[in-house]
Structure formats: C-alpha cells, structure tokens
Structure 1
C-alpha cells in the first residue's frame, strides 16, 4: 500500500477534532468552536456562515445547504435538506409565456426559496449544543469588520462589473466600493449583512433565555418576518437576466413562510471492502457517485495506481462509467415520486450498463432503461440542443449562471464545502452554495442576493426534473459520507457543479484503490467528462470531451486520445477543491486533508 507519494501538505492526524473547508477562515472558525467544547455540528454551522462572508462569489445567505451526517450515538446516515423549493407561481407555462425555453441562469426568475439559514439552524437546534449567537458571531465579525478578498472574488466582480454598473445598481453599490473593483487582498466589509444577522439575533434573544426557543424565533424572523418582507418586495422588481431581457421574479414572502428545512434518511449503497456510501437522494445528483462505483465494481481488477498516478485504463473506465451514470441522471433524477432508484442502483442494472463500456470513448448520450422503463430525456437534450456548445439560446453574456468549471477546466468558482469530525464521533459533510454575488442583484436592505437554483429545472413537464411549484430542483450539490463495517468513517466533498461527483470519484479511487492518505488522494491528478448536458444555463455539453490535469503525464494523455477521447489539458493543478475528514473507530484517531488548488482551502485540527 502506498502511503505517501507526493502531497502539498501533510495529512493532519489528531484526537480532538478536525475541520476541513474551502477557506482557511471558515476552517479556523469551526476549529475555534471545537476548542470551545462545541461539537461537529456547532463547528459546521459556524464555518458555514463564515463561508457566506468570505467566499461570497460561491455562496451566500440566499442560497442553500445539503449535508450528510451521523451522530455519535446513531451511526445511521441522515441528510439535511436545506434546499428550498420552487415558488407557487413558478410554472413551466409562466416561463414559456415569457418566451423562454430555459430558466435563466441569473436574475430573479431562477430564485427558489432560500434554504441555507433554516437548514443551518435546524441542524444547530437538533444536533448542536451552542446558542445561535455563539456560532454566528464569527461571520458577523468578518462582515462588520472586514476580511481579505481572495483573488477569485476580485476576478468575479471584474467579470460582472459592466452588468452591475448598467443594470444591477444595488450590487454596484456593495461590490464596487468607491466605484472600483476591489483589489485582491483588500479588506472588504458588508455591514448591511452584519446588521441583518444582528437583527435576527435580537429577535431570537427576545424570545427568552431558552436556546431552542431562540433558534425557533430566528427561523420565524427569517421566513415570516422582516427578511421575507424585504425579499417579497425586492422580487417584484424587473431586472436583467441571461435572456437579455428584464424580468420580475415569482418568489414571495408566502413561499418563504410555507417552507422549512427537513431531515431525511440518506441514500446508502454497500460497496466492496466493507464500505457503505451515503448520499443525498435523487433530488440531487448524489446517486451518480454510487452508480459510477457500482459500474466500476465489475472492473476492479483493471483499476490501479502507480506512484500515486492512475493508469490509463483507470481513467478511461472511470470516464466511460461517468458518462453512463450522468446520462441516467438526465433521464431519471428529480424531486419526483417515480424515480426508479432501486433499479438504478441494482447490481443487475449495473451489469447491463457495464456491458456498453469497451476500449474506446463513447460519443453518445446513452441513458438506460431501469426496470424496462423508457428513458425520458428532456426535449432540449433529445433534440441535441447544446451539444458541442452549438445552437445555444441567445443571451447577453453579461452574467454567470453558475460560475463553475468551464470547458477548458478553468475554475471560476461555484460552491463551497466543509467537513467536520469531533472527538465524540459526530461526522458531517456539507456543500453550501447559491446566492452568489453574481446570481442576482443585491437586496439593499439585507446585504445579500437571492439564488438561481431553479435554472436546474427543465420546462418540459415529462421530465422528472420538470419545473413545478413546491418541487426541489435536481441540484448538483452532493456531499458524501462513508461508513466502513457499519462505522461512520469518512466525510468528503468538493465544489464544482456537474463535476462534483466525478472529482469525488477521483478522490475515492485514489484513496480506496490507490491506498493514498486523505491529503495525497486530494492532491492526486484529477479528470472529468463534459459529455452530458450541464445543469446550468445555457445547458451546453461536449460529447467525447475529457478534461484532465497534465500531471497525469503526456504518455497517458496521448493514450487517452488514441482511445478516442477529446482530451483538454487543463494544466497541472486546476480540477477540484476537495476536502475530507475521517475517524478510525478503533483507535479514535482523526484525520483531515484539504485542497491546495486555488490556494485557500485548509484543514485544521489537533
């Protein structure tokens, strides 16, 4: 077994607690809570709110948060669903009446009910130990007093500067201080957001001294009080979006009042080696990681790593299995009662699908027929719109629907991630997102903007992911947790839109097949396919394309091209922003690693 090949940093090992996230300030805040005798859930909430401040181009208060977790006294994996639903007026007919074929990727029409606040507070109430003020104070401090802007924030604001100046004036007022794009490394503050949180705390603490009562009061103040009122008022404004036209939103205060975050059982799949993978359900893309691993199970003797680098056979097989799993995602996943998950995740079905994989790259989108059912691809996809980037809907190119990984692998940002494990054995993986500063205009009275997750719906009523009031969009956010021999062991995840479950596959293979420790597995060369429709406006896809890190080696890249892959070299360190924590149930040793790509993700612990 290979333990150390090359790592940018050491794998952390300790006994008290570990926090790994996409920004060092969030990791530090989470660790501060653990040092103050908080548990993993307290720490995750504190880190999650800090991420809303310090990575505002990747998530915000108007976004959402899914998480997978286990508690020290219950190894059963559970899912926190902090993903809001489509508003009551969000019907496919309404959008088509506006002359739209897709839900725009920016502006107000793409807003679902903001879910992050209620999701984090539900987790804190039921599984944390701290008061709301104790965990929120770190984020308030950074919002009030300022924080250093990472270069990606500067780059993102520069990209949308013209849109802010010409159309989203409230965003220009916040994000262009003094009329200029703030410099990377500059100290930046958002006092209006700090005021919003302080007002929520004031209403919480007015409910009395009881911790749970305070949290419940804060949830009401958000969903039924002044936050909902301001959202309702602002959503009536017509603003420019990706369609190139101005549209008012459909989200209302009544939509916010009618929704609360929830907890549900995780989807679990048993895998070789005593592993059990736990994911969010088919309202996310989570099941595709399970499908990929089930497909690869039949190729176990052909998967290998040499000096920490996968063989060409490993990369080829993983890419081909990813294409099959993601084709099924397009045909079958959604927040619908008739998603055939049992069939999709059966070994018989995996064997049928595996037979399609050979030694050459497939150039087709090939959804399967679980249980004999006929695949239901949206008409937009079935007609080939978006394939190769052609025939795309016209837009202004002024916004960024999902600032995720581009065709060439260039990371423009997208989402954040945090993993925490504590000394008692609580374990959580969370992937907050949405409400990016470039999603829609800033709500002046609140200091944040709404999200755009509804762009992931199709305006095709036959799709399981069709837009419908009260339905969750089939999101790309996909935190992961794994048990070994029934014991919660590993929490991991990454930002990256459609690539999340592909980069997590790279990590899994490096760790489980290659035997690399957490940090080495995160640092190992990564790859992903773009041969299926993007979940984000304008829904483009590139059949046969495989984006790779050049550290795979020139010979391996040449062999992939010989097998028919349209290989795009994204450079040596460009794909993924993974983090991970683990706990050995026998020794009690805790471990952590975080991504060095982008120069801001860090793990902390002792």
Structure 2
C-alpha cells in the first residue's frame, strides 16, 4: 500500500525535498514559465527553508534535458578551490587533511551562479519572478524543520561563543528556536533584494538581468563581503584552532558556471545520463554496467541474490571512484576505460558467492590504482559537543537524527518534455560561520580533496574537489523519461540506483519504486571528514523477508537493519507512457513533496 499516490498530469510536475519549494516551482508554470524556471525558483526557496542542508554559497550539479534541441547538458555549479589552496599551504598550518568545517574548506560558491546560468540559457522568466518567493520566505518567515531545530540546538553554544554571526542569524533573541516556529532571515532577504535591484538597474533585458545578478554576486557586494570576512577573521574549526580562509574576492570574480556534456550509458534500452568524474556520477553508470550482466528480474525483488549482487557491484564501482575520480580539467580520469565492456566483464568476475571485505579498485587501461591512506581524524572524546560535531563533515547532528543525510533535491518536467534535476548542497549552517551581512555561510566541499600528492583528487588551485552530488536523467529512444535525485551524501548513487532498478528491472511505477524498501553498503570510505568506513556492512530498511536476511548473513554481510522509510528522499519527475507528466517523492522524513497539474 502506497503512502502517496502515483501522480500524473498534463501541464507540469515538480518534486523537491521541501514542500514549499515544490509549491513555489509549480507557481512558476502559472506565470508562463517552463520546467527550468520552476527548478530555479524551487531551489532558491530551498536555500531559505533548508539552511541546514544548503545555501547560496553552496554547490550544485544541474542536469538539463531540452526538448527543443533533444540535448542533455550539465551545468556545473561546483566551484573550484581558491588560488591559494595547495597541499603545501595546508601542511604549513600543520594539517594532514582539509578540515571538514570552518573557513579553510571553502570553495568558490557555485550554486547561485549555476541557477542564474540555467535561468538565462533555458528559462522564460525574469530574475524577479524566480527570486521573489525566496525573498518572501526570508522576510516573512517559514516553519523551521525539526532537524534544523535540532541542529541549531546542538550548535547553539558554538554560535553564541565563537560564530557570533551564526548566532545572530539562527538564534532569534539569543534563544534556540522551536521546531515549527516561524523563522526569518532578514539579512538574506536584503541580499536577494539588492541583487534583484542592481540587476534591474543594469538592464531591462531578461538574459542580461540574469548575467547582471551573477556579476553582483561574484564581483559586487557579495564577493566584497566574503573577501573582507575571510581576509580579516580567524574562526574556530574542527581542528580546535582558529584559521583564516583562503578564498578571496578575486577567486569569485574569475569564476562562472560552465555547461558541458553528460556522461552516458545505455541500460536495458534506456540512456542514463550523469555528471562527469568531478562528481561521483559515473559510479552510477559503472554499477549499471556490472548489473547488466545479471537477470535481476528473475532473481526477484528483495531476494538475497538481488541484494547481494547490487551491493557487491557497488563495492567495485565505488572502489574505482576512490582510486580514479577527480576534476577532468586537472587530471587524466579514464572514464571511457572504466565503462569499457571488457573492463566491466573482468570486474564482474570478481563478484562471488560471498561478500567481499576488500577495497578492490581496478586497473583501467593497465594503469595502477592508488587510494591515499585514510587518517584517523575522529574527535577526541571529552571535547565540547559542538567540536565533536564540527569533526564530522556531513550536515547531520550526530546521535540526534535517525539517519545520515545532507543535500536537497529539485526536479521539474513540463508539458513540452523539458526535464531538469539538481541536488543542491553545501553552505549549510552546521559547518561554517555565517558571513556578516549576508545571512548565509560558505561551503566546505574542499574537505573532499586529498592533500597527498599524485592522486586525481589531490587538492590544487582552481581545481574542483570531487563531489558526492549526483542527479540523474533517463531517456528512452532519445525521448524524456525521468529526472531524479536524492539527498544522502555518498549514498546518493546507491539509493537512486535502487529506485531505477525498482522501476526498470522490477516493473514498479515511480511512486512505488520510491517507497519500496531500500538498502546500501557503507563498505567504502565516505567522502566527508573523517572518511569513515564499515567494511562488509549492509544497511537495510525493515521490510525484507527473514529468510533473505539469514541468507545474506550466511554470505558474509554484516547486517544493520534500520527503521522503515529512513534511507534517502528520492524525488523524481518525468514523462509518462501517455505523453503526460508524472512526479514522485519519498515520504521518508515527511518533508519531500511532489506536485502535478
């Protein structure tokens, strides 16, 4: 029995990780906008109402299918590391890794510029149309999510004693806000209003106003505030010491969001599109390549063969992620070889009847793999609770929430067949102090880069750290089918893979595929500080048959059964078999919502 109905319509569809974002996106259709306008407006609202998961200074990969041209593109909103960011610069500070919190991990903010690029190149509406709803929620308030309230409660001592601007922004009257309380961010509202006013003053042209908004952010008062704060302020971070940031106004001024082709793989008659290896996107395709050699439908959904095969494939694909992925503008990433049928067949031979406890990257094209050693950066017991929280780079309050999670998701499809999906993240309130006068913190994505020399993901000036953010677009015979994604850090390309397998291999409709019990492995080190791993661990939601659990245990998996509907928040929109639009959103977390007309 479904918790939510299968949604179909004829006009437009939006699914997002917050109901206010979904409603905002749908309102853009009423203004004459398309799917791209809907996604931009929804995402800007997410920056306001989900401050514990993303913000204007965060990062975002945006996947775009344009019906008119039939092209699929990726807009990269993952900003690079500052020009001053080198392994030597961190070693001079006595650091063996990039901290998972504070100012040192800040990259160029990519989210705002990427959304304006989407609006300019693919939208129909003006900056004011897509920005006004976010301004309204920042000025008039929004109901504070329980998880955001829990995070603020735990971090309140830090906000009061160290990160004063975070306290002024998220501790109204100096107190911890209650879940559901109306929360306002007047500083952020003023920033958005000023951007809008200066864009209008620059030109009456729609595209020109989008460009002007970018200039205001990256070369105007926003960049100046960031430059001033980082140059003149030392802030405490996960090291327990105070550091200045490396990011400068010049770093912002020289960056603009780029557009590039997607990486593609055909799976059972469908074309699956992902971002390049500056994200973890290709790992999704590597898993599909391995699974193509199995008859999952014959194994049956929820069987031991189904789960074992998927998990063992994930271990191999993610091991390759660890060894080979990085910014292809700065490293030779062998994506073609990693997806080569011969390479995939050899890797598939490694999947045996029992669970593997090893991390086994492959040798594409005969290259020798190397994964830097994972250092123990676990906070020392007895330190202040907030310092222990800073030591974990994900935006989750440890031991206060049921499951790990980060990131937001926005997906939209319109009646013309345009599709877009993105997973905005970064710039969350737990990990970096709010910039004075702006109402939002910087991102900490730099923590995902290595300081060890010689790896494709080694930190370097102007280089993008390899991110976990990973939306997906699905076509069939070149026609639009689905645009989907989920919050969830390293687990994104396991939970969304399961959604796609539920749909394609097991014949479930999208909402049923979203709600079906899911699972993942924690076998591979996470991308976030302190890069924890639990070899052989298989995390499953309740709902799988006892016989399946017994057989998986016999095969060597270490099972961790969690509450039902607790893993991921998959959001999807697309085109149904009748040419209408569809939408699906996970009931997990009671937060994501889908709307169609």
**TM-score, with length taken from structure 2:** 0.96
Say whether residues 1:397 and 2:397 are aligned partners: no
The equivalent of 1:190 in structure 2 is 185
Q: How does 1:179-218 map to 2 (within 5 A)?
A: 179-218=174-213
- Work out whether residues 405 and 489 of structure 2, in 8 Å CA contact, stay in contact via their aligned partners in 1: no
Q: For 1:397, what is the secondary structure of its paired residue?
A: helix
Counterpart Cα distance in 1 of 2:460 and 2:410:
31
Pairwise CA distance, 1:404:
5.1
Q: How does 1:315-464 map to 2 (within 5 A)?
A: 315-336=307-328, 337-378=331-372, 380-381=373-374, 385-386=375-376, 392=378, 396-399=387-390, 400-403=392-395, 410-464=402-456
The equivalent of 1:577 in structure 2 is 569
Say whether residues 1:538 and 2:534 are aligned partners: no
Residues 290-328 of structure 1 deviation map (CA, whole Å, 9 limit, x = unaligned): 0001111111257544xxx52111111101100000000
Pairwise CA distance, 1:193:
0.3
Pairwise CA distance, 1:522:
0.4
The equivalent of 1:165 in structure 2 is 160
Counterpart Cα distance in 2 of 1:405 and 1:330:
26
Say whether residues 1:239 and 2:239 are aligned partners: no
Counterpart Cα distance in 1 of 2:406 and 2:438:
22
The equivalent of 2:521 in structure 1 is 529
The equivalent of 1:503 in structure 2 is 495
Pairwise CA distance, 1:244:
1.4
Counterpart Cα distance in 1 of 2:170 and 2:408:
20
The equivalent of 2:295 in structure 1 is 300
Counterpart Cα distance in 1 of 2:53 and 2:121:
27
Pairwise CA distance, 1:150:
1.2
Counterpart Cα distance in 1 of 2:475 and 2:430:
37
The equivalent of 1:592 in structure 2 is 583
For residue 55 of structure 1, the aligned residue among 21, 34, 50 is 50
Tell which deviates more after alignment, 20-29 or 153-162. 153-162
Counterpart Cα distance in 2 of 1:456 and 1:228:
24
Counterpart Cα distance in 2 of 1:219 and 1:351:
46
Residues 65-98 of structure 1 deviation map (CA, whole Å, 9 limit, x = unaligned): 1111111212221101011000000101111111
Q: For 2:202, what is the secondary structure of its paired residue?
A: coil
Counterpart Cα distance in 1 of 2:4 and 2:210:
38
Tell which deviates more after alignment, 567-576 or 491-500. 567-576
Pairwise CA distance, 1:166:
2.4
Q: For 2:176, what is the secondary structure of its paired residue?
A: coil
Counterpart Cα distance in 2 of 1:521 and 1:409:
25
The equivalent of 1:601 in structure 2 is 592
For residue 71 of structure 1, the aligned residue among 60, 63, 66 is 66
The equivalent of 1:557 in structure 2 is 549
What are structure 2's unaligned runs of at least 5 residues?
A: none
The equivalent of 2:285 in structure 1 is 290
Counterpart Cα distance in 1 of 2:481 and 2:508:
16
Counterpart Cα distance in 2 of 1:482 and 1:65:
19
Q: How does 1:464-475 map to 2 (within 5 A)?
A: 464-475=456-467
Counterpart Cα distance in 1 of 2:167 and 2:551:
48
- Work out whether residues 296 and 505 of structure 2, in 8 Å CA contact, stay in contact via their aligned partners in 1: no
Residues 519-556 of structure 1 deviation map (CA, whole Å, 9 limit, x = unaligned): 10000011111111110001111111111101123332
Residues 105-128 of structure 1 deviation map (CA, whole Å, 9 limit, x = unaligned): 110000000011110001100100
Pairwise CA distance, 1:449:
0.6
The equivalent of 2:264 in structure 1 is 268
Q: For 2:283, what is the secondary structure of its paired residue?
A: helix
The equivalent of 1:3 in structure 2 is none
Residues 491-534 of structure 1 deviation map (CA, whole Å, 9 limit, x = unaligned): 11101000000001110111111111111000001111111111
Pairwise CA distance, 1:165:
2.1
- Work out whether residues 389 and 397 of structure 2, in 8 Å CA contact, stay in contact via their aligned partners in 1: no
- Work out whether residues 297 and 506 of structure 2, in 8 Å CA contact, stay in contact via their aligned partners in 1: no
Counterpart Cα distance in 2 of 1:404 and 1:166:
21
Pairwise CA distance, 1:412:
4.6
Counterpart Cα distance in 2 of 1:481 and 1:468:
30
- Work out whether residues 407 and 488 of structure 2, in 8 Å CA contact, stay in contact via their aligned partners in 1: yes
Residues 152-195 of structure 1 deviation map (CA, whole Å, 9 limit, x = unaligned): 11111122222222211111111111222110010000011000
Pairwise CA distance, 1:245:
1.1
Counterpart Cα distance in 1 of 2:75 and 2:456:
22
Residues 437-477 of structure 1 deviation map (CA, whole Å, 9 limit, x = unaligned): 11211112111110000000000121100100011110000
- Work out whether residues 404 and 496 of structure 1, in 8 Å CA contact, stay in contact via their aligned partners in 2: no
Tell which deviates more after alignment, 249-258 or 397-406. 397-406
Q: For 2:208, what is the secondary structure of its paired residue?
A: helix
The equivalent of 1:254 in structure 2 is 250
Say whether residues 1:39 and 2:34 are aligned partners: yes
Provide the aligned length of Structure 1 versus Structure 2: 588
Counterpart Cα distance in 2 of 1:469 and 1:264:
21
Say whether residues 1:148 and 2:153 are aligned partners: no
Counterpart Cα distance in 2 of 1:413 and 1:567:
20
- Work out whether residues 378 and 530 of structure 2, in 8 Å CA contact, stay in contact via their aligned partners in 1: yes
Distance 1:535 1:103, change over 3 A: same
Counterpart Cα distance in 1 of 2:199 and 2:414:
27
Q: Cα RMSD over matched residues?
A: 1.6
Q: For 2:245, what is the secondary structure of its paired residue?
A: coil
Counterpart Cα distance in 1 of 2:431 and 2:70:
37
Distance 1:139 1:409, change over 3 A: closer
What are structure 1's unaligned runs of at least 5 residues?
A: 1-5
- Work out whether residues 409 and 547 of structure 1, in 8 Å CA contact, stay in contact via their aligned partners in 2: no
Counterpart Cα distance in 2 of 1:472 and 1:200:
26
Residues 252-272 of structure 1 deviation map (CA, whole Å, 9 limit, x = unaligned): 000000100010000011112
